[in-house]
Structure 1
Amino acid sequence: MKKTIYVLTLFILLFTSLQVNAQDILRSKDLSTINVDYLTDSDIAKIDAQLKSNNTTIEQVESMALSKGMSQTEYDKLKSRLNEYAGKSNNNRPKIQENSNDSERKQVKIINEKVKDSANSLIFGSELFDNPTLNFEPDLKLATPMNYMLGPGDELQVSVYGVQEYNASISVSVEGKITIQNVGQISVSGMSVEAATQKIKAAIARVYSTVRSGQSQVSVSLSQIRTIKITVVGGKQPGNYSISSLATVYNALHLAGGPGKNGSYRNIELIRNNKVYKNIDIYRFLTKGDQSDNVSLKENDVIRIPAYSQRVTVEGEVKRPGIFEMKKGETFSDLLNFASGFNEFAYTASVNVVQKTGKEFKVHDINESDFSTYNPQSGDVFKVTKILSRFENRIKIEGAVFRPDYYSYSEGMRISDLITRAEGLKEDAYSKRARIIRLKSDLTTEIVNVDLSAALSGDTNADIQLKREDIVTVYSILDFREEYKVTIDGEVKKPGTYDYFENLTLNDLIAQVGGLTGSASKRVEIARMVKSDVINDADPNRIELMELEIAADNNEQIKNFALKPFDVINIRRIAVYEKPEMITITGAVTYPGKYVLANKKEKVYNIVMRAGGLTSIANLEGMKIKRPIKQEEIEKIENVDLNLSREDTLKEKIKDIKFSTIPINWEKIEKDKNHYSNVTLFPGDEIEVAVYNEGVKVTGNVLLTSEIPYRRGKGFKYYISAVGGVNNKGWKRKAYIIYPNGKADVTKSFLFFRSYPTVEPDSQIVVPEKPETRKMSTGEWVSIGSVLTSLALLIVTAFR
């Protein structure tokens, strides 16, 4: 009987333990009786929710669960079932991006899209509420504020640690109470966190003896902050806002977009319990960084933004122009402080203000001495102008002094004083005369001449007094000298025009230009200008020519000839000076390669013979010369107006042409060496001797581009037919043939007869594309019919 009672008692305890642990596994003192297999899915869901409410995971409570008697096997089963449940929950739940750490204090995220207010952008302070980066949100990572007043919706993290352990997240109910297991309900609404902490500690100490004895400690902190409702009236986006209970006035103003179009920035009212609790002046924050007005908000607070009383405008040379709100008693100095003061170019002696009367505008000038006493009126427009673009004490010296520049002018200053400040005259200074350009009282200029030598020697009459804005010019004797040049051309390394110096000789100039080239002859021609005060009609010579002889192999001449300004020297080229130049022969010759032109009239026949003659596989009809086209020849062709359309690519094709082709008739050359095909070769030419090929290529607008074996006696049509004929774009009557030696022949037509060119082995037949033609529209046909009808009527009328 005793055993039966013991079993029943153990079963009841186990069942009770399962129910308790399913509700709060962290609060149980003994977990040794836990059997995870008996837990339902609902129990697992409750355990998962309890872990999440405490901001913990199953891994973090492992040591605590084992210390309270849970076996490692049961813990592993519980962990496995929790992971399975979490996987199922995540699959059935929409994914939300978490922006904060789970261990941080939480608050409902409030997002308000900012819209740039361009209409009020000039109002001082409006940029504070248009910038999304300035949101004045409370920092949730700070330590728990001890003066924070608790209310319904807050959540406290209550922990007992030491000998006894307890941890729970407890929400403040709508009645303002929290409920702690085994302790009961505690009223905390309206209390500060510090006061609530003391009250909670005292309540727990009555239940937990170790807290009372000091063996365990109690910690209370805010884990989630409640949301309060406030009202903003008079903002750009007025209305009711749900914000953090830690939020301040500036945070609420930012959410509402700041004051409206006519809203005040300096007399904002915070109304609490139907009374004005605080007057907020945003200018204190903007000008001084003073946040004394940025007080915390409470439930049902009202922020009222009344209409402004006075606004003025500041334009021109201040650091922050715009529209500013003024209070009674504030002066222009205060306004200048709001605008961050004058900038570097402001005229500060007085400020112009345009005022509004009841009927019209009026202008008033505020002197600098009145800045601290003048009270701006609503609607005033202050205009700060620039300083004048002139100097009150500037003077300038330029020319042949060591330090030409602007200097400060003082009353009684003389020309000698200025030259002394400019470190004196240079060695090349012209001391007989200096010039002063002076600005007269009527703003016209005059020139005053100065004898520098007399002024610097102590003559007070010559050492005249200077005036503000004088420009003193000291001349240099080098300014009066002509710039002499000499020119050298011909067989020197660096021909050109060079400066002339006294005692310059031909040897000096040849050394300066890098010496003579290897093709220089001993003949030198020097042309010298003729100078005379008398015109001699009998002498037609414009220059004087001189012939000299030099040693071409030595840059130094026997007689060192002295040059004069503007001489032109020509070093002549020796009569015979030809560097070896080459041509190339390729193809079916015995020794292809490069060959030097032995004489100026080297012919094709000579080069072929020097190359060992033609081989047995050479195509006698396939010899040609490829001659490089010079760049200047291409430029000449491009400069010719060919009257081409924009779509025509002929000019682009011309640029791609690198060679011109010269056909060669070798059979004629062998019979007659003077035949025109035996052309004279130029440097860079390439002789191509084709290998005999018995095929005929057919390309262009044909059905099949191919090479057809040559058949004696077969004509042009045969080869076109052999590739399937022309396609729908082919222009058969304009087909042409290119022979192996580069010659070409076209199809000829006379009346209804058409003759095609002869086909030779290794030739190429090309069928071009038909030009695009535009069909006439119905309207064009009608127009032509109308013209013909009119002509017929005229003819009939004429013959009546």
Structure 2
Amino acid sequence: MFFKRVFVLILMLFSSVSLAFTPTQAQIEQFKKLPRAQQEALAKQYGINLSSLTNSVQNSQVTSQQLPSVLERELETPEKETELDRLNPIDKPLEPFGYSLFSGSPTTFEPPENASVPDTYVLGRGDMVNVTFYGKESTSHTLKIDNEGRLSIPNFSPEQVAGLEYGEFKKLIKNKIEKEAIGLNVFVSMSQLNPMRILVVGEAYKPGSFMVSPLSTVTHALYASGGLTEIASLRNIQVKRNGKTVSTLDLYDLLLDGNTEGDINLRSGDVVFIPSVGPQITVKGAVKREGIFELTQEDDQASLVKMFGGFKENAFTKNVTVRRIMGGAKSRIISTDFSDTSMDYTPKAGDEVIVKEVSKTASDSITLIGAVVRPGFYEWYEGITLDKLFQNFRDDLLPQADFNYSILVREKSVLGEIEVIQFSLADALKGKNIPLEKNDEIYIFSRFQLKSSEEQALENLALTEEQMRQQYKVKLWHLNEFQSFEEKMASLDPVALDTADENNSSDDFNDETAIEELATFSRKSLLKAVLKRLQYQENAFSKSNTFEVRGQVRFPGKYPLPVNAAIQDAISASGGLLESAYIEKAELTRFVNKGNSQFEHKTLNISQKTGLAEQLEPKDTLNILTRPNWYEGHKVTLRGEVRFPGTYKVNRGENLYSVIKRAGGLSEYAEPKAAIYTRKSIKEQEQSQLKKLSNELRRDIASKSFQKSIGMNASISYDEMNKLLKDIASVKAVGRLVIDLPEILSGQDSLVLQDGDTLYIPGKQDSISIIGEVNYASSHLFKSGVSIDEYLELSGGVKERAKEEQIYVIKANGAVFIPKSSGWFSVNYQNELEPGDTIVVPMDASHMDNLTLWSTATQIFYQLGVGVAAIARI
């Protein structure tokens, strides 16, 4: 019967949602001791699901101290982000300020047992107190205030205490004991507070009646009701007692100042009323706390700034935009200065305050760009000159800096139009002062155009570790700071800027050079943004302030036209004249657009001061001509068995016999019949033919594969075909020109040299090589009188796919010997074999599904392979 009462008690505890108590651990243990059959029978009798009851019992073992007082609200599960969402992000809408603090639902609101009871606490019916006597006797009593509000102390008369504050109650009991019992002292404390019921109504998440601790405040009531709805007011929460409003809580005081003055203690029967939200204002942009804020009639500009936490450091406070609703029909824009405290902006309902960021472009400054040790922004002040920025070559400039050409880009109007001033850095550092103005940009270029050339020069300088680190830092600044500015300038003009240059530079720079191949501070890299800005200024009444230099200069291309520019400035900008330049005559082409003629041409003598002083005009083109009969000389290389191998510079029209004679002739070990002669132009032609042959072969294979798919038999697998195709594609052309060196040396033949020619002269030959469709490709010692057939037998004979009737011999000098009679064993053929020859056994094309190109492809493949092998042995 006892266990049954325990079970009934547990059922009541778990089935009643109104009770805030949980079964004790002892009661749970007693329930567990019941037999399983009895548990099931009792559960069935009272209509309880035993499994859910068991789970509830297990969950009840977690004490209230282990649970959070507030759980998260159940939110809608967000949809999974798609790839389209990531590519098109949507800004999240602004949220009202302060609501997240109470966005939870309560788990327990039991009276805190260890909380200190303040003296202002008002005692009520059901509260329990401890009364301890000490002195002539010592006793302790735990007493309860009865329903009449009285406290009955044993051996003493009852006292009416309900409604007294806790501090007054303690004084009352102390005075009573001292009067009624001489020599007896008393100590009074609260034992247990009786929960009280309050009502939360209005815009609460879960409005209703709640049992809370008598020490609860207004914010505790908000938590008990699960927080606030999205339209609840945070500025006007009211506490009503006996039909009158006794307090108003402004949560902004709590959230912004930590002020709890309005968060009063509640009493039993109090009503917490949460009205709807009042007028609101939206603040976004460069503020520390974006959001939607609720206004009161007392709010002004200062209180609004306090709400959004102040401005960010980059906020443009002098001109804050306010979008205001006018009469509910239209809106207007108001600009206000928040930096001026005397300005009085009064927030109004519906205002949208937008705080912009200050411009990232530094004003009243000077910018250093390019090959300088410390690029970036510098302060401008009245009277500053260029030499104040550069005081020492070594300390202020990078080793690759060009001292002959630099430019200063200056704003000449409020519209951002610019002009360019060209100067020599060397002259500026020698004392030629150049006054600087606000927002001037100074470009210092590298004296190299290509990254490879610059890196090679720096490597030769053997930079220290600190200098290498400095190079990296400057290039990093250029990448992060300058290029973002460059892209901004380029975006001003949607038309692509034509910066095409002639390929006449000694630095091997041409239009096809990729951006990543350019030196970081090269002219072409740094001038892109400047040329864009100048092109953007072009209109029907003003030509683009650019000019072009072509021909025999170091860096041909398009350049910004500086103020008062002359021909000398154009030559300096393009890096100076090359050795091949013809200074007696240069051509200046000018755009005039007169009648049927758009251009006029003028001849200049740039060797004279008058020619160098000729003034440049917008869109002029200066063409520096090549010196007549200019010849830089060809380079020819001799390798192998010559007395003095190496690279020789030759005159135009010089022949091979002449350069061999200059090299001391052949050594005593040379084999002139096996000489290999290569030429750059032939190599390029062979490579092009190889590529064409490979593509044709692939098409042929594709065609045959299609035919095979509709019924033709295949005698070779796809893997074999693919391997052969890869072999053909991987072959590198040699550029071999077949020559008879003995005839050249005897004077019977003459070979005129070209730039890049190479002569390979091997030593004495003593072997015969066999390649192609033989069982074992190898080389054998040459023996006079041994036939081709005998050499093939030494290599294991030919394969099944060999085409025996087309076997040929590649001579040591590259010529091909093809037998012309019907028999292989003719003595004539035996006598034609010589040391260094290669016997080639081609493949029968019929094994390749009658592919007509295989015969040609394999012959080229073998012949190139023989040439490469012969060169490798030298």
Q: TM-score range by the shorter chain?
A: 0.3 to 0.5
**Which structure dedicates a bigger proportion of its chain to helix?**
2
TM-score when scaled to structure 1? 0.46
TM-score when scaled to structure 2? 0.43
Rg comparison, structure with higher value: 1
